[in-house]
């Protein structure tokens, strides 16, 4: 899981002619922006649209526009890309990236997508691989829309928590990860699980 306290950056990939960050180019978040820029340039890039733009135009460059912790960077990204299909971004920015469509939106470590087809196109892996990850316990950050949304019917705990950008209760966390209430509490209290924290913390 990502460390929300690590130094992180918001970057803007743009052409020389681009002047408006809120409408042009690509805005992303990374703890290693230089490495991420190289990944965007590779043919195997997860985001094929950005890769095609970089291949087609030789006047593209990356600019770091903000430095902070991951939470703050994701908030900036969400402000700059509040909805999908802005500039070269196919997905909405921020932690709670786009999830609502036909009830089959998906969330991944690379952002949220309207569905498996869009995720496959942007990430650059087969749809079959995404389907396997969505149901595998080895990929807890890959989810169908609604799988991890708050639905505590037993009153196990009234206190909500964030886990990887989604609201959980103790019951949903226990069910999703197959762990005890004590383990959930330990993770919420541990610095080793920075993505696990109470909503009001």
Beta strands per DSSP E along 1-40: 7-15, 26-30
Would you state the pLDDT for residue 16? 95
Burial label for 13, CB within 10 Å (0-12, 13-18, 19+), is: buried
Residues of the chain scoring pLDDT < 50: 1-5, 96-103, 146-158, 201
* pTM (global) more than 0.75: no
pLDDT tens by residue, 35-60 = 889 888 887 776 778 888 999 999 99
Predicted pLDDT at 152 = 34
Q: What is the pLDDT of residue 63?
A: 95
- How wide is the angle at C-alpha 164 spanned by C-alphas 126 and 1, nearest 5°? 75
Rg (CA), the chain: 18
Predicted confidence at residue 13, as pLDDT, reads: 96
Residues 6 or more apart in contact with residue 66 via CB below 8 angstroms: 9, 10, 72, 73, 76
At 7 the pLDDT is 82
Which tokens belong to 86? 């802005």
């Amino acid at each position: 899981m990502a460390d929300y306290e690590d130094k992180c950056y918001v970057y803007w990939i743009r052409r020389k002619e681009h002047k408006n960050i809120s409408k042009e180019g690509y805005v992303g978040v990374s703890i290693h922006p230089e490495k991420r820029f190289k990944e965007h340039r590779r043919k195997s890039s997860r985001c094929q649209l950005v890769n095609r733009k970089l291949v087609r135009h030789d006047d593209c460059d990356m600019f770091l526009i903000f430095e902070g912790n991951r939470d703050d960077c994701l908030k900036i990204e969400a402000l700059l890309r509040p909805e999908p299909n802005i500039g070269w971004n196919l997905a909405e920015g921020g932690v709670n990236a786009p999830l609502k469509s036909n009830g089959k939106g998906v969330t991944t470590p690379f952002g949220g997508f309207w569905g498996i087809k869009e995720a496959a196109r942007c990430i650059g892996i087969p749809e079959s691989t995404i389907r396997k990850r969505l149901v595998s316990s080895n990929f807890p950050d890959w989810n169908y829309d609604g799988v991890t949304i708050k639905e505590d019917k037993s009153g196990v705990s009234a206190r909500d928590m964030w886990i990887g950008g989604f609201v959980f209760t103790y019951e949903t966390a226990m069910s999703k990860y197959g762990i005890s209430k004590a383990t959930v509490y330990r993770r919420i209290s541990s610095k080793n699980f920075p993505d696990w924290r109470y909503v009001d913390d």
